[in-house]
Amino acid sequence: MSYPVSCFSVNVCIGYEAAKWVAMMGATVIMACRSKERAEEAMQKIQGEFQVEQEKKTPVICDTENVSLEFMELDLSSFTSVRSFIEAFKSSGRALHVLVCNAGVALMPFKTTEDGFEVMLQVNYLSHFIMIAHLLPIMRRSGEDCRIVLVSSDAHRTCNFDVNKMNYSGDPKKFKRWDYYGKSKLYQIMQMHCMHRRLEGSNISVNSLHPGLVETEISRSYQDYRLMTGLNWIAKVLGQMKTPIDGALPIINAVVNPGLKGVGGVYYKSLEHGYSTAEARNETKQEVLWKKTLQLLKNEIPAEIILGLEKE
């Protein structure tokens, strides 16, 4: 089987392990990353680790000489970059079977992007939303088992849903990072439910997941946040942190498990069905968010694409 996978991000993190194992199982993986240098470094490392797994005769990996990896530039904090990525992907004429929206930032201090949105809202939610909207028509004609995976977080439990406060506009000093990180992750789960309703019975399934508390580079986003870096340190000392491969397992499962063909609308916690909050599962609020998101993104998602999103 050969299928392109998009929106994996790299380095010592969850996306690296997920992209590596999916590629080692025979997929063509497109690493959609903001840094070409870091992506190429990761791709080279994956090729080396593939040779080691082949020598160990690890089951499930493919017998090709190399794994199939490609880099495409994507900076989720810029709609211009997201647009260029979408155009480049469309003009490649290739199919798209799996789209994994993994890249993310956490607990950042208040900052707005060049597009005027709070950065966690744009990177974690809005930019992925635009990509999905534009790439969905390609996925609709890419085969009978296409999948979208949204890497969310149990951090969605820490926030309240308020559609009028999606884009923070208050005093930067009063910005609550936990709340806004949680909100961005809550929106991903709510989006997943909205899309599942619209895609049920089609060739595309959509799921979201919490990878667990994983030791990665995500703390780069909040180096100045002593409380959090301290809590992470304690969790690590107590052995409560997962490794990146453990964190990647639910993604790999959602991408390749043949038993999950056509199964959508699930929030996975590790490999099990997890429970998101009642708010995340509230259909009325999900639809309010959907409408508000399309309104916020009216310049990025034209009417005919919206019609396509609503179809089926």
CA distances from 252 to 91, 151, 222 (A): 28, 11, 27
Pick the stretch among 19-27, 74-82, 222-230, 291-299 that binds ligand NAP (CB under 6 A).
74-82
Per-residue x/- track, 174-213, ligand NAP (CB under 6 A): ------------------------------------xx-x
Reading phi first (left if > 0) and then psi (alpha if -120 to 50, else beta), residue 136 is in alpha
Per-residue x/- track, 269-308, ligand NAP (CB under 6 A): ----------------------------------------
Question: Of the listed 125, 181, 187, 268, which one is catalytic?
Answer: 181
Nearer to ligand NAP (CB atom), residue 99 or residue 203: 99
| Residue of the chain from 19, 21, 23, 77 that contacts ligand NAP (CB under 6 A) | 77
Cα(50)–Cα(67) distance, rounded to whole angstroms? 7
- The enclosing H or E element of 71 equals strand 68-73
The residues near 145 (Cβ < 8 Å, ≥ 6 apart) are 97, 203, 205, 261, 262
Half-sphere exposure of 153 (CA within 13 A, CB side): 24
Q: DSSP secondary-structure letter at 298? A: T
214 binds ligand NAP (CB under 6 A): yes
Note if 181 is an active site residue: yes
CB contact at 8 A, 136 and 204: yes
Nearer to ligand NAP (CB atom), residue 4 or residue 15: 15
Q: How many residues bind ligand NAP (CB under 6 A)?
A: 30
235 binds ligand NAP (CB under 6 A): no
Nearer to ligand NAP (CB atom), residue 37 or residue 171: 37
Cα(276)–Cα(266) distance, rounded to whole angstroms? 9
Pick the stretch among 6-14, 47-55, 266-274, 277-285 that binds ligand NAP (CB under 6 A).
6-14
Nearer to ligand NAP (CB atom), residue 11 or residue 277: 11
Per-position DSSP letters for 135-178, written without gaps between them: HHHHHHTS-S-EEEEEE--GGGGG----GGGSS--S-GGG--HH
Site for ligand NAP in 97-156 (CB under 6 A): 102-106, 123, 151, 153
- Residues marked active site are found at 181
Site residues for ligand NAP per CB under 6 A:
9-11, 13-15, 33-35, 38, 74-77, 102-106, 123, 151, 153, 210-211, 213-214, 216-218, 220
